């Protein structure tokens, strides 16, 4: 789960990381009031969306009066902001963040993430602050330092100092950097984060080291331990189909193709996607309804699939182990009736109560294309949309 910059800064601030003072606003009036409340000659107004690249897209501006803050907020709020990370449709700005301005002397990059290669949390640091780290990694990898943090020892002072030196941080700024990184590292562990990205981390003209931008993501599987963080979920920033799927505890990932797939078991779901591709079409999603799905869950899964307007045909591939085929069939019939299904529907079922399942489908009056096996199912569904390529 991702959160907004201002929320990440509030969390990091609580752990003792230096962040500029600021206040979120959801109307131009609130933005003007927030500017006044800061009581400083200048402030930065920043669009709050779950995407970076706001600076270049005109979503970040240094302003010198409450009136300017009001005007700029009015320009941003309620409208989509298109950055290189949002896709062409952009993201609607529903809040802005008004923050004290910093006098930037140097911009650096600092990130912490779960590093599967080293089996630990790694710190990524670079002198190229304000740039996409992926781009730095591709063009000038020598400007990136990666330090795996031993999970048993934690972040030792000497490791933090080593990272500081690799960034050219000097003198009294070294201790500030060490304090900041220690705070980030503690925040990472204690919130079950999966990513903290400070881009840029800045050294100011008066020698302070602060987090000028902040991005935080959390491990969804750890969220039950952090009800306060779970509250920060912003449904406006999430794919509505994925939000709906989460409600029913379905594993659903939206993809770009046009074959809606409903499968039980992650391995079978991946095999189904592979074979759909092999026969010349693209899956519209990954969807694992799980082992013990009931009728309600299956119906929800089916509705979610069909809510994707790009879906041109549906492939249901279920192996009835714990999941019973009659339960599946009942769910499909209910959902198909609710949405008055008009797309081709290919069903391949095997296993527990398969005959009852087939009978329920046959008696339902829904047009079902029955498939004999996995390959047959893929063949039929790709044929149904005229995309079949392979033998």
52 in contact with ligand GDP (CB under 6 A): yes
Catalytic residue among 5, 30, 99, 197: 197
Nearer Cβ to ligand GDP, position 210 or 369? 210
82 in contact with ligand GDP (CB under 6 A): no
357 in contact with ligand GDP (CB under 6 A): no
Note whether 68 and 36 are within 8 A (CB). Answer: no
Question: How many other C-beta atoms are found inside a 10 Å radius of the C-beta of residue 64?
Answer: 13
Nearer Cβ to ligand GDP, position 195 or 375? 195
Pick the piece of the chain touching Mn ion (CB under 5 A) from 35-43, 120-128, 207-215, 293-301: 207-215
Note whether 98 and 35 are within 8 A (CB). Answer: yes
55 in contact with ligand GDP (CB under 6 A): yes
Pick the piece of the chain touching ligand GDP (CB under 6 A) from 52-60, 63-71, 113-121, 137-145: 52-60
Q: Provide, rounded to whole angstroms, the least separation between the CB of residue 77 and Mn ion.
A: 20
Q: How many CA atoms lie within 13 A of 13 on its CB side?
A: 12
Residue for token digits 């949309």?
385
2 in contact with ligand GDP (CB under 6 A): no
The binding track of 161-200 with respect to ligand GDP, each residue x by CB under 6 A or -, is: --------------------------------------xx
Q: Is 197 a catalytic residue?
A: yes
264 in contact with ligand GDP (CB under 6 A): no
Question: How many other C-beta atoms are found inside a 10 Å radius of the C-beta of residue 1?
Answer: 20
44 in contact with ligand GDP (CB under 6 A): yes
Q: Give the one residue of 128, 173, 197, 213 binding ligand GDP; rule: CB under 6 A.
A: 213
86 in contact with Mn ion (CB under 5 A): no
Chain position whose Cβ is nearest to ligand GDP: 55
Nearer Cβ to ligand GDP, position 62 or 266? 62
Q: Provide, rounded to whole angstroms, the least separation between the CB of residue 42 and ligand GDP.
A: 8
Nearer Cβ to ligand GDP, position 62 or 372? 62
191 in contact with Mn ion (CB under 5 A): no
199 in contact with Mn ion (CB under 5 A): yes
244 in contact with ligand GDP (CB under 6 A): no
Q: Give the one residue of 102, 176, 182, 352 binding ligand GDP; rule: CB under 6 A.
A: 102
Q: Please state the φ and ψ torsions of residue 161, each to the nearest 5 degrees.
A: -70, -40
Q: Provide, rounded to whole angstroms, the least separation between the CB of residue 330 and ligand GDP.
A: 48
Q: Provide, rounded to whole angstroms, the least separation between the CB of residue 62 and ligand GDP.
A: 6
CA 145 to chain centre: 25
Q: Provide, rounded to whole angstroms, the least separation between the CB of residue 68 and ligand GDP.
A: 15
User: If contact means CB under 5 to 8 A according to the sort of partner, which of Mn ion, ligand GDP, none does residue 18 touch?
Assistant: none
**Three-state secondary structure readout of the chain:** CECCHHHHHHHHHHCCCCCCCEEEECCHHHHHHHHHHHCCCCEEEEECCCCCCCCCCCCEEEECCHHHHHHHHHHHCCCEECCCCCCCCCEECCCEEEEECCCEEEEEEEEEEEECCCCEEEEEEECCCCCCHHHHHHHCHHHEEEEEECCCCCCCHHHHHHHHHHCCCCCHHHHHHHHHHHHHHHHHHHCCEEEEEEEEEEEECCCCEEECCCEEEECHHHHHHCHHHHCCCCHHHCCHHHHHHHHCCCEEEECCCCEEEEECCHHHHHHHHHHHHHCCCCECEEEECCCCCCHHHHHHHHHHHHHCCCCCEEEEEEEECCCCHHHHHHHHHHHHHHHCCCCCEEEEEEECCHHHHHHHHHHCCCCCEECCCHHHHHHHHHHHCCCCCCC
User: If contact means CB under 5 to 8 A according to the sort of partner, which of Mn ion, ligand GDP, none does residue 104 touch?
Assistant: ligand GDP
Angle at 287 between CA 360 and CA 233, to 5 degrees: 125
Catalytic residue among 30, 97, 109, 244: 109
Q: Is 109 a catalytic residue?
A: yes
* Binding residues for ligand GDP (CB under 6 A): 44, 46, 52-55, 60, 62, 101-102, 104, 107, 130, 199-200, 212-213
Report, as residue numbers or ranges, the catalytic residues.
109, 197
Contact residues for Mn ion, defined by CB under 5 A: 199, 213
């Amino acid at each position: 789960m991702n959160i907004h910059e201002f929320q990440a800064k509030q969390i990091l601030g609580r752990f003792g990381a230096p962040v500029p003072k600021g206040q979120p606003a959801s109307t131009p009036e609130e933005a003007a009031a927030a500017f006044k409340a800061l009581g400083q000659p200048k402030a930065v107004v920043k669009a709050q969306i779950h995407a970076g690249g706001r600076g270049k897209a005109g979503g970040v501006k240094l302003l010198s009066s409450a009136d300017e803050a009001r005007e700029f907020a009015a320009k941003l709020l309620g409208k989509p902001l298109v950055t290189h990370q949002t896709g062409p449709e952009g993201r609607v700005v529903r809040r802005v963040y008004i923050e004290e301005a910093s006098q930037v002397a140097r911009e650096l990059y600092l990130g912490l993430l779960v590093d599967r290669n080293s089996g630990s949390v790694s710190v990524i640091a670079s002198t190229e602050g304000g740039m996409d780290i992926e781009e730095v990694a591709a063009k000038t990898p020598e400007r990136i330092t990666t330090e795996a943090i031993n999970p048993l020892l934690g972040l030792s002072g000497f490791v933090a100092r080593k990272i500081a030196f690799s960034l050219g941080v000097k003198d009294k700024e070294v201790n500030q950097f060490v304090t900041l990184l220690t705070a980030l590292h503690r925040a990472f562990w204690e919130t079950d984060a999966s990513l903290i990205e400070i881009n840029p981390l800045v050294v100011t003209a008066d020698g302070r080291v602060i987090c000028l931008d902040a991005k935080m993501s959390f491990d969804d599987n750890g969220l039950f331990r952090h009800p306060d963080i779970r509250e920060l979920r912003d449904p406006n920033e999430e794919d509505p189909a994925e939000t709906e799927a989460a409600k029913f505890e379905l594993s659903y990932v939206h993809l770009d193709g046009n074959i809606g797939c409903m499968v039980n078991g992650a391995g079978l779901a991946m095999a189904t996607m592979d074979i759909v591709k092999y026969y010349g079409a693209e899956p519209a999603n990954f969807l694992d309804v799980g082992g013990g799905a009931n009728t309600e869950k299956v119906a929800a899964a089916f509705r979610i699939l069909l809510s994707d307007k790009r879906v041109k045909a549906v492939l249901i591939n279920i192996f009835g182990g714990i999941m019973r085929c009659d339960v599946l069939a009942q769910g499909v019939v209910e959902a198909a009736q609710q949405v008055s299904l008009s797309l081709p529907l290919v069903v391949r079922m095997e296993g527990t109560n398969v005959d009852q399942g087939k009978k329920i489908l046959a008696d339902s009056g829904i047009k079902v294309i029955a498939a004999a096996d996995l390959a047959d199912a893929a063949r039929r569904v790709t044929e149904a949309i005229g995309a079949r390529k392979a033998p």
